[in-house]
Structure 1
Amino acid sequence: MTLEKSELTRREQTLGRARSGARRLTVPLILYAVLAVLIILPIALVVLSAFSTSTPRPGQIDLVNLTLANFSTLLGPGVRGAAINSLIVGVGSSVLALAIGSFLAFVTARTNAPARRFLYFVGLVPMFLPSYVGALAWSLLGGENAGLLNILARDLGLPAVADIYNISGLIFILGLYYAPYAFLLIHSSLSLMNPDLEEAARVHGSSPRTVLRKVTFPLSLPAILGAAILIFTLTVENFPVAQIIGNAGRVDTLPTYIYRLMNAAPARGNEAAAVAIALVVIVLIVTAIQRRIVSKRTYTTVSGKGLRLTPVNLGWFRVPALVIGCLYFALSTVLPMLALFFVTIHKSPYVNTVLGSFTSDALGFDVFIDALEDDVVLRATVNSVVVAIAAALIGTLLSFIVSYLVNRTKVPGRNGLGYISMLPLAVPSIVLGLGLLWTWLMIPLPVYGTLLVLVIAFVAAQLPQGYQGASSSILQIHGDLEDSAVMHGAGRVRAIWKITAPLLRVPLTSTFLLLLMLSMRELTVPLFLFTTDTRLISIVIFDDFENGILQRSAATSLLYCVVIFVLAYLARRFGADQRNTR
């Protein structure tokens, strides 16, 4: 009898452990399923389409008729030219953005230049102006014949001063609007650098210029290379700027070539997938090179000592440094916004004179009011707000759950969740959008053609940013606080709700605002997913420009910028609140 009871007890214990293990695996398995649909399946369908004779359709995936014929497109002159242009644009705009960003970072972080707070603002503000809005504004400013700068030059009796519709113009615009990424990364590196190394070089007789060349800038190499790779990746995969500027100048890049293949009649989806894989390969190769360079040396400079950075005396260059910063501010923000405003208040879509417009009856707000009352603009604005809020809410929640499992638990497979969450960073937006199109055409759910598919697309595209934000916040909260609640009888979910979540209210709110702002700015990912009833404000701006409705496009862009600046202000306010609570 005793043996039977012991055997029964062992069976119950074994069954209890099995049930406990099953419960532990339930949430990770659900998350793997969600991330598989959001991220892995779209990427897999792009890869499969590149090797197939047909694109995925509802209820049909071609696993039989596999071929390499689609990759013959890569050998054609069109793809070769687009690839070369993409590399030229990526390298050129990266160099320009690094030059601008590193200059402003060095001046604001390490020198005695005047108005450094203003220059810090100058380095950041173009980040909140979508690059395609900047491209639209510069197309109004720098068109060879109808550009406002050239019209103004003609008013003054001068020759034309700008022609933006070429590969140089494309590099110029991308360099302007991606410089803030270099500024942020390099400014952080220069601000955190240990001054002992520089001081040792000065003690041994090195001049300030030699110290900068031999010590300061080499120690910032990881930040510089990281910024270079990030900017190269973003500019190589950038579609809207390349389409707005390159289309008029007959400059094809790989993203615009993919777009043209998908919009051909009939659509050449398999060839587009092959070109998309080539684009991904370029990004991965460049990223691997950067990691190999950085891994060969150590760049640790921050110690436990207090940092007292000695400002570099610019001498006579103090004022020119401020002037250069103001010039960048004018080119990246002031002139584009003035151009959008001028075209919006001009009563005619055709501008024959700039100076004459102020002395005649050519200006008024009728066009601006009509554009803001337009049903298409209003519906698109509402759609954008709804989609952005929903995507930010779902993205923040999903990011928190994934980050919590990765950083707070020991469940099997947790690290894989983190890797998958970061995967969209290595996939260009136009490629991810292509995969999402095929995914939601194939899955037998009535999602395509609704705002829900756009919400899903934004959550997938922005999961890396959400995951990084949630992870950095969770790692700042010690796990003992939550464990203490569990030890006193609270369940794990209740402990998270009552302890962890309130402590993370501010950082998670900041993550929500970041995702909200990114969703409002996004154009490329929903490019293949929107319909007439689900257009977003970014899509309306792009379509109006493509169809020559420049005034409404300019007016909508101004409204768009106001909304984004408000979101940026809110993000800054919450960021300040977060600092005050520490």
Structure 2
Amino acid sequence: MALLERTEVAPPPPEPAAKPAAGVVGARRRFLPTGVLLALLAVLVLLPAGLVLLAAFTGRVPRPGNVSFDLTVVNFSIFAEPEVLRAFVNSLLLAVLATLLAVCIGGGLAFLAARSNIPMRRFVYLVGLMPLFLPSYVGALAWSILASPFAGLLNIAQRDLGMSIPINAYSMPGLVFVFAVYYSPYTFLLVHGAMSMMNPDLEEAARVHGASSGRMLRRVSFPLATPAIVGSAILTFTLIFENFPVAQVLGTPGGVDTLPTFIFRLLNATPSRGNESAAIAVVLVSIVVLVTWWQHRVLAKRSYTTVTGKGVRARRVSLGRARLPLFALVVLFFLLSIVLPILALVITAGQTSPYTSSISDFWAPGGLDFTSFTDVLADDVFRSAAQNSIVVSLAAAAIGTLLAFVSAYVTYRTKASGRGLVEAVSMVPLAIPAVVLGMGLLWTWLVMPIPLYGTLALMVVAFLAVQTPQGFRGVASSILAADRDLEDSAVMHGARRTRAIRAITVPLMRTGLLSTFVLLLMLSMRELTVPLFLYTSDTTILSIAIYDSFENGGALREAAAMSVIYTAFMFVLSSLPRLLDRRRARS
């Protein structure tokens, strides 16, 4: 009994901690890739946009240790000022008129190149694309040389000939013309693709029932291309409505203010009026979103399917007696969009005197001296800007292509939770004008505790943010076209998924990835608006150097020389995919 009484009962062992359910673990694993991507995209895109929105509804601009959450709508009272209303009307009128003209030019060239019997159709196709080689702000700078009211080369030539037709680039018609010329390639590319793939059955039916060629085009061909026409029109409207450089170069001297130039002026005022500029930016974004929504409403009402599995080719439309006059108009557009602007830049680069009273002055002894090109190439400022541009553009293109590939792969090749959000957030910058995103990026990286401001790394981050939609769409089209069965077969035979991607999927997508890389490289080289908010003397890139030189009239020769070199480099850059494809086809 005593023994029994002294016996102690051992306490039961502790129960093991409950393990998370298998479903919860699986959900976490499925969300991990999208979670990482969404966090990265949020820092790149959503945070800058959010700070602009916050600044619009508060009384203080976001600064380190000075982020206010005291909400107010007083900033929107700026819309009661006549200058803002005038800028809004100018922006809207300019975007509508320039879009209509750009769609007519691009759509007409697309029809001539894709569906007509016009002479030299390959040349017509190149004419439709060539304005892309000349960045819009370089085109604007060239037309400021050609058509300024008093010292423009075209006006000087007119005086030499005894003519007095007013040509003024510093006006609403001048802005409409320049915008339409350099944004027409967007319509050309989209409409040319639609017309090239169009099934001709409905057109043949219209012919059988007695419709003339003109009536068939009006009632059948162009209506069937409505998605491409409307899509390109919305894209063009958005790009023109938010454009800052062209409006600044041509509009400001003529007193034609737009919302982007007004925002920029508010930010550079003393003291800076950042909250009011953010309020204007919110309205700017709202209009872009509204127009995009309207596009979806219009296209959702009807079906435009014309491409089927039937192997047919649309018949070429005979232009009749209009064949040669239309070709002459194409040549005229080529002269106005490419030849005259580049010629103006070359002449300005060689001009020895800033004052010209007659075109004959250029042919006088010592009238032209092209040593400015060698001076520019030897200039430390140009070399530094060119080196910065190359480094930033290559880094942005490489990282942007990688980010786009990962985002598109997660979206279209995995079952990760929230993959649709990755695509949605990637496309957000399309709805945010560059002037707005530049402002948001400036505030973001002043507030963030990461010391990127004043470094080339910030330029790379900014370009990644701006070009996320283009990169995602470029890679997505390639990844959807690549059959995933080969990759899955490699995994079934024991290869890791990452190895299968490297060995099979990436080589299959090589052309698409290369095209996306070159596209992002060109966009980075062309970008001006966003760097204007972020650059310092140590991080000046080529587009900024050209813009600053043109703003400073004393450096006009050097700026023109830089523009010519810059345009030549862009032309070579745009030819790389075709050259590499030809080399690959021969090997």
TM-score by length of 1: 0.95
Residue 229 in structure 1 maps to residue 239 in structure 2 = no
Runs of 4+ in structure 1 deviating by more than 6 angstroms, as ranges, are: 577-581
- Residue identity in the other structure for 2:331: C
SS of equivalent residue, structure 1 residue 163: coil
Aligned to 2:118: 113
Q: Which runs of structure 2 are paired with 1:472-487 in the superposition (5 Å)?
A: 472-487=477-492
- Note closer, same or farther for the CA distance 1:460–1:67 as it changes in structure 2 (3 Å cut): same
Q: Distance in 1 between matches of 2:285 and 2:509?
A: 35
Which residue pairs with 2:52 in the alignment? 46
Structure 1 stretches of 5 or more lacking a match? 1-6
Whole-angstrom distance in 1 between the partners of 2:289 and 2:23: 43
Q: Where does residue 409 of structure 2 map in the other structure?
A: 404
**Is the 2:199–2:308 Cα contact (8 Å) retained in structure 1?**
yes
Counterparts of residues 327-476 of structure 1 (less than 5 Å):
327-476=332-481
Tell me the amino acid that sits aligned with residue 431 of structure 1: V
Which among 515, 535, 556 is matched to residue 520 of structure 2? 515
> Residue 208 and residue 505 in structure 1: after superposition, are their counterparts in 2 closer, same or farther (change >3 A)?
closer
Distance in 2 (CA, whole Å) between partners of 1:575 and 1:96 is: 34
Q: Distance in 2 between matches of 1:435 and 1:575?
A: 39
Note closer, same or farther for the CA distance 1:17–1:576 as it changes in structure 2 (3 Å cut).
farther
Q: Deviation per CA, 1:174-219, whole angstroms, max 9, x where unpaired?
A: 0010011111111111111111101111112222222112111111
Contact between 1:233 and 1:283, CA under 8 Å: does it hold in 2? yes
Structure 1 residue identity aligned to 2:191? I
- What percentage of aligned pairs have identical amino acids? 53
Q: Would the aligned equivalents of 1:148 and 1:354 in 2 still touch at CA under 8 Å?
A: yes
Counterpart of 1:32 (choices 34, 38, 56) is 38
Question: Letter of the aligned partner of 2:72 in structure 1?
Answer: T
Offset at residue 78 of structure 1 (A): 1.1
Does structure 1 conserve the Cα–Cα contact (< 8 Å) formed by 2:31 and 2:418? no
Measured at CA, do residues 416 and 278 of structure 1 come closer, stay the same or move farther in structure 2, by a change above 3 Å? same
How big is each residue's C-alpha offset from its partner over 1:463-517, in whole Å with a ceiling of 9 and x where there is no partner?
1111011111111221121111211222211221222122222221111111001
Aligned to 2:67: 61
Aligned to 2:535: 530
**Equivalent position amino acid for 2:169 in 1:** I
3-state SS of paired residue (2:252)? helix
1: CA distance, partners of 2:300 / 2:165: 49
The answer for the alignment partner of 2:8 in structure 1 is none
Contact kept? 2:349, 2:560, Cα under 8 Å: yes
Query: Which runs of no fewer than 5 residues in structure 2 stay unpaired?
Result: 1-14
Say whether 1:208 aligns with 2:210. Answer: no
CA contact (8 A) 1:50 1:270 kept: yes
The answer (yes or no) to whether the contact 2:195–2:225 under 8 Å persists in 1 is yes
Contact 2:33–2:416 at 8 Å: present in 1 too? no
Partner of 2:162: 157
SS where residue 118 of structure 1 aligns? Answer: helix
The answer for the alignment partner of 2:6 in structure 1 is: none
Instruction: Tell me which moved more, 530-539 or 280-289.
Output: 280-289
What amino acid is aligned across from residue 570 of structure 2 in structure 1? I
Instruction: Name which one, 1 or 2, has greater alpha-carbon Rg.
Output: 2
> Are 2:134 and 1:129 aligned?
yes
Correspondence list, 1:159-174, <5 A = 159-174=164-179
8 Å CA contact retained: 2:392, 2:459: yes
Matches within 5 A, 1:556-575: 556-574=562-580
CA deviation digits over 1:33-54, x for unaligned, max 9? 1001000000000000000100
Distance 1:578 1:62 in 2: 57
- CA–CA distance in structure 1, aligned partners of residues 22 and 337 of structure 2: 64
Q: Secondary structure at the residue paired with 2:495?
A: coil
CA contact (8 A) 1:154 1:160 kept: no
Work out whether residues 506 and 578 of structure 1, in 8 Å CA contact, stay in contact via their aligned partners in 2.
no
1:274 counterpart (279, 291, 295):
279
Could you say which residue in structure 2 is the equivalent of 1:259?
Answer: 264
Conservation of the 8 A alpha-carbon contact between 2:30 and 2:415: no
Structure 2 residue 97 is matched with structure 1 residue 92: yes
Which residue of structure 2 aligns with residue 101 of structure 1? 106
Which residue number in structure 1 is paired with residue 320 of structure 2?
Answer: 315
Shift of 1:572: 2.6
Deviation track 1:142-199 (CA, whole Å, cap 9, x = no partner) reads: 0111001111222223225411111110101000100111111111111111111011
What amino acid does structure 1 have at the position aligned with 2:52? V
Name the CA distance, whole Å, in 1 between partners of 2:24 and 2:163: 83
Question: What is the deviation of 1:11?
Answer: 7.1
Aligned to 1:3: none
Mapped to 2, the partners of 1:161 and 1:571 lie a distance apart of: 42
SS at match of 1:32: helix
Contact 2:51/2:440, CA 8 A, preserved across alignment: yes
1:149–1:161 Cα contact (<8 Å) kept: no
Match of 1:240 in 2: 245
